[in-house]
Amino acid sequence: MLTVKQIGDLGEYIRQQRERSAMSLRKLAETAGISNPYLSQIERGLRKPSAEILKSLARALSISAETLYERAGLLDEVSMRRDVPEAIAVDETLTKTQKIALLEVYNSFISQENEE
């Protein structure tokens, strides 16, 4: 169950992503297929959006749905991060060199994120 703080943090994050994308509230609502008032309530932390609404918002903002699911408390960030190196390791279409390069890039992004 989402806490009031998580809902507010999620709404704030969506607002920041919308502003970063230089979209008005109206344009994002239209693109995501939801009403302006509903999006406004989500951004202000007054409403808890469903996974489907989060997916629509993510698509409209050109970000991953998993990012919003994580912010909403629907995904465990730690288990998701463990899955990335495992997925790279078992991908049979990648060469050993490609796997090493991908892991290095991924790890550099994670270490940068932790510094911020």
- Look up the domain containing 60 and give its range: 4-71
Return the CATH number at 52.
Answer: 1.10.260.40
20 and 44, same structural domain?
yes
With residues binned 3-state (H G I as helix, E B as strand, rest as coil), the percentages for the chain, rounded to 5, are 75, 0, 25
pLDDT attached to residue 20? 92
Same domain, 57 and 84: no
85 and 61 in a common domain: no
Rounded to two decimals, the pTM is 0.62
Same domain? For 46 and 82 the reply is no
The H or E element that residue 111 is part of is helix 96-115
pLDDT of residue 8: 59
- Do residues 59 and 23 both lie within one domain? yes
pLDDT > 90: percent of the chain: 52
Below-70 pLDDT ranges, the chain: 1-8, 76-82, 112-116
Residues 44 and 90 in one domain: no
| 101 and 50 within one domain | no
